[in-house]
Amino acid sequence: MTVNARVVLAALVTAAVACDESGPLDVALPAFVFVSGTDQEAELYLWRGDTLTRLTSNAFGDGEPHVAAGRLVFTSDRDGNPEVYFGDVRATTVRRLTTDASTDGEPALHPAGDRIAFVSMRSGTPRLWTMDTLGGSLAPLATGSAVFYPERAPAWSPQGDRLAFTSARTGTSQVFVVDAIGGAAVQMTSEAGGAFDPAWSATGAHILYVSAAGTPRVRSVPASGGAAVDYAVAADTSLGEPSCGDHFCVVVRGAYGVDGDLVAYGAPRAAPAGGGVPALPTHTGGVRVLVTGAANDRDPAVVRPEGAGKR
């Protein structure tokens, strides 16, 4: 089913941000999958060029989508317990991958589409696990901390060689990065109010995340390490749940509330020919409103072209 009534495009376009590393606001926006609705009415939708397509329709909650290589992973309680599901990007054929009695969710699909990192409660604490797209090769991922520290929100780097995630091992939730095969994770953030929901820029040069100090805002830190800076700020509403394509990051305005909307901010381009990591501009305006309405719209997952990010 295709609908257009809830889409508002180009509602808040301003002049292009004066930064060579910011994509122009008039390029084609990436498609993305997102969640709309609450509780058992939460369903998955696909936004693509002015059009919304409903992907799932059932009496159970579907959420936490992630897309890579033309494939989709998400969490659903359609079988009575939150589990990880896998299918094509339009969810025409999906299959359940996890079957544990504990909660499994927050799946992230490797850029090649052949591995999944997810969060499982099967040890009694939310921790990172990995598996293949048949639900096999299931194993906890070593991150260098004691197993009683919670871990959340895994996100593969565009090259698939690292995972960003959050951990409370230092007392508050912070963003860490670990090799894809596991090992000792490196702390990337030091936010007094905690850091959440990491996402990689399309080039892999930056990690965007949400700072919860005061009104939630989106910040960025170089993936190689360094000082964090504000990326997207709104004084009167929370911003969160970033997901990035080549020219745009889709962010939830009104994040973590009951009436989220989806907006786009210019994302960084590749590093300049002279090398180095380009600084992300701070965005306080110049956004495009993509989806707004009475429903709670959230959890955007940008659909990147197959092969994107491979080196």
Q: Is residue 48 one of the residues assigned to a domain?
A: yes
Q: Tell which residue, 23, 53, 76, has the closest CA to residue 287.
A: 23
- Residue 90: which CATH number? 2.120.10.30
Q: Which regions in the chain score pLDDT beneath 70? A: 1-27, 268-281, 306-311
Q: Is residue 266 one of the residues assigned to a domain?
A: yes
The per-residue pLDDT for 76 is 96
The per-residue pLDDT for 79 is 87
User: How is residue 24 written in tokens?
Assistant: 């122009």
Domains identified in the chain, total number: 1
User: How is residue 306 written in tokens?
Assistant: 């197959």
Q: Is residue 309 one of the residues assigned to a domain?
A: no
Which residues span the domain enclosing 37? 2-302
The per-residue pLDDT for 273 is 57
Q: Is residue 191 one of the residues assigned to a domain?
A: yes
Q: Tokens 């939830």 appear where? A: 252
Note the pLDDT tens digit of each residue in 92-114: 999 999 999 999 999 999 999 99
Q: Is residue 311 one of the residues assigned to a domain?
A: no
What phi and psi, each to the nearest 5 degrees, are found at residue 12?
-135, 55
The per-residue pLDDT for 181 is 96
The per-residue pLDDT for 306 is 62
Q: Is residue 224 one of the residues assigned to a domain?
A: yes
Calpha distance 189→8 (Å, rounded): 34
Rounded alpha-carbon distances, angstroms, from residue 280 to 21, 22, 132, 274: 7, 7, 34, 17
Backbone region of residue 155 per phi and psi (left: phi > 0; alpha: psi in -120 to 50; beta: other values): beta
The per-residue pLDDT for 287 is 83
Share of the chain above pLDDT 90, in %: 72
**Using the 8-state DSSP alphabet, how is residue 13 labeled?**
-
Q: Is residue 57 one of the residues assigned to a domain?
A: yes
